């Protein structure tokens, strides 16, 4: 019989499973805590459950273990970038960032990405597969275990489009949120999307108080289409309508991510157009100096343009901040470390991972 990945079970599913094993369901509380809070990797570490039950668990299940292949640490700010191996040998990235208000982890939701944004290294190798909820939560467990740091905030902004892996992402948020597990409040969780409109509406109905971030990056559909293929499917108006519904149902402010690309979207006219689009919305703009990727065609906007852009938006009443650049001395841009790994394993170890044919 194939063993079950026990990390993938919700608390209710675990209770049912324990009963199927002929045991009292209260053991599910102990086991859930051991796995999701104490982060144990061996059933024998579950010291308050009987040896017989531990044996039954070992026979029928396994604890998901993700392997750290590489960890780069920034000398400038302590940012830690992890290359993590999944059980099928695909690799993903997670980043631990240290802020005054606590530690934030940026997690991946897919192996590769289908969305094809031109400024992003994560999409260069195509799409392989979506992550399971346990593989998303597993990034937190692995990074906490490895670093000894406690994580208080999560951003779904790593490799992949979270709303393209909707069910697993929602399940992972609920698992991370669960009081017997990591117990991280939904308000400490941000989910970033390039604008999959139908799933923004779905998310609004989920009754999860997470922060929604929209990767907008342009103020007209024409300009957006130049860098983001998703703009061929959904217009900015359709995205903003979905955002308004999200705000109406959740009462949460939306964050708009805007990567400033030199000569592409960093003019005063762009800033004014953005302010006009967001007029009357509970919104916040987060300006991101675009990461220059290897063989990429886009250049980071100069400091002066970034400052002017921010000042223009703020003077129009749109709350705007510039994202602090963390880990600038390591491969911090999303997808870069994985890409290097793929190039290396391709060259030296053969095809160790599954590569998309798309
Ligand atoms: S920016 Fe996000 S959605 Fe776009 S290709 Fe990269 S990972 Fe995918």
- Among 168-177, 192-201, 320-329, the range scoring the smallest mean pLDDT is 320-329
Pocket test for ligand 1, best of 106, 117, 169 (most atoms within 8 A of CB): 117
| Distance, CA of 24 to CA of 134 (rounded, Å) | 24
Common-topology check for domains 4-62 and 67-348: no
Q: How far apart are CA 144 and CA 152, in angstroms?
A: 11
Confidence tier at 345 by pLDDT (50, 70, 90): low
**In the predicted model, what is the mean pLDDT of residues 38-62?**
97
Mode of pairing for the β-strands spanning 254-260 and 211-215: parallel
The mean of the pLDDT values for the chain is 90
Q: Report pLDDT digits (tens) over 243-293.
A: 999 999 999 999 999 988 888 889 999 999 999 999 989 999 999 887 666
pLDDT band (50, 70, 90) for residue 355: very low
Q: pLDDT tens digits for 67-121?
A: 999 999 999 889 999 999 999 999 999 999 998 889 999 999 999 999 999 888 8
| Closest of 216, 222, 293, 295 to residue 260, by C-alpha | 216
Which sequence spans correspond to the domains of the chain? Answer: 4-62, 67-348
The residue whose CB lies within 8 Å of the most ligand 1 atoms, and thus the one to mutate among 107, 108, 112, 113, is 113
Contact of 165 with 92, CB cutoff 8 Å: no
Say if residue 349's pLDDT is above 90.
no
Q: Which residues contact 323 (CB under 8 A, 6 or more apart)?
A: 286, 287, 288, 289
- pLDDT at residue 182 greater than cutoff 50: yes
Residue nearest to atom 6 of ligand 1 (CA): 120
Backbone angles phi, psi at 213, to 5 degrees: -115, 135
Pocket, ligand 1, Cβ cutoff 6 A: 113, 115-117, 120, 122-123, 159-161, 194, 215
pLDDT value at residue 254:
96
Q: Can you spell out the DSSP letters for 91-117?
A: EEEEEEEEETTEEEEE---EEE-SS--
CA proximity to 81, closest of 354, 335, 344 = 335
Q: Is-contact 32 11, C-beta < 8 A?
A: yes
Q: Are 114 and 122 in contact (CB under 8 A)?
A: no
pLDDT value for 295: 58
Mutate to test the pocket of ligand 1, among 130, 160, 227 (most ligand atoms within 8 A of CB): 160
Structure-model confidence comparison of residues 203 and 353, the more confident one: 203
Which protein residue's CA is at the shortest distance from atom 3 of ligand 1? 161
What is the mean pLDDT of the segment spanning 125-150?
96
Residue 164, token pair as written in the block: 């393209």
CATH 3.30.420.40 is right for the domain spanning 4-62: no
Active site (catalytic) residues: 93, 334
Biggest alpha carbon distance in the chain? 69
Taking the C-alpha atoms of residue 5 and residue 302, their distance in angstroms, rounded to an integer, is 48
Q: Per CATH, is 67-348 categorized as 3.40.50.2300?
A: no
Minimal-distance CA residue to ligand 1 atom 7: 160
- Would you state the pLDDT for residue 338? 76
Q: What separation in Å is there between the alpha carbon of 105 and the centre of ligand 1?
A: 17
What share of the chain has pLDDT > 70, as a percent?
Answer: 92
């Amino acid at each position: 019989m194939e063993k079950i990945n026990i990390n993938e079970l919700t608390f209710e599913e675990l209770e049912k499973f324990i009963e199927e094993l002929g045991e009292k369901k209260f053991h599910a509380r102990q086991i859930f805590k051991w796995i999701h809070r104490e982060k144990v990797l061996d059933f024998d570490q579950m010291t308050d459950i009987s040896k017989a039950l531990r044996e039954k668990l070992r026979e029928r299940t396994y604890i998901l273990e993700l392997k750290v292949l590489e960890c780069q640490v920034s000398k400038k700010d302590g940012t830690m970038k992890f290359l993590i191996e999944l059980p099928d040998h695909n690799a993903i990235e997670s980043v631990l960032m240290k802020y005054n208000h606590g530690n934030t982890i940026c997690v991946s939701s897919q192996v590769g990405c289908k969305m094809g944004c031109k400024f992003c290294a994560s999409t260069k190798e195509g799409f392989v597969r979506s992550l399971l909820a346990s593989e998303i939560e597993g990034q937190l467990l692995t990074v906490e275990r490895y670093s000894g740091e406690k994580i208080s905030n999560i951003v779904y902004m790593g490799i992949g489009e979270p709303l393209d892996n909707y069910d697993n992402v929602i399940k992972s948020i609920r698992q991370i949120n669960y009081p017997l597990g990591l117990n991280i409040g939904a308000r400490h969780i941000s989910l970033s999307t390039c604008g999959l409109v139908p799933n923004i509406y779905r998310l609004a109905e989920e009754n999860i108080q997470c922060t929604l971030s929209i990767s907008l990056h342009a103020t007209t559909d024409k300009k957006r289409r130049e860098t983001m293929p998703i703009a061929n499917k959904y217009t900015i108006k359709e995205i903003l309508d979905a955002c308004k519904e999200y705000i109406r149902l959740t009462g949460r402010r939306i964050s708009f991510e805007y990567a400033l690309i030199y000569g592409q979207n960093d003019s005063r006219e762009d800033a004014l157009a953005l302010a006009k689009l967001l007029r009357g919305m509970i919104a916040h703009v987060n300006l991101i100096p675009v990461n220059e990727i290897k063989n990429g065609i886009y250049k980071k906007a100069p400091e002066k343009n970034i400052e002017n852009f921010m000042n223009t938006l703020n003077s129009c009443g749109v709350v705007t901040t510039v994202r602090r650049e963390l880990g600038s001395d390591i491969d911090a841009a999303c997808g870069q470390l994985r890409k290097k790994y793929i190039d290396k394993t391709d060259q030296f170890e053969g095809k160790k991972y599954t590569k998309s044919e798309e």
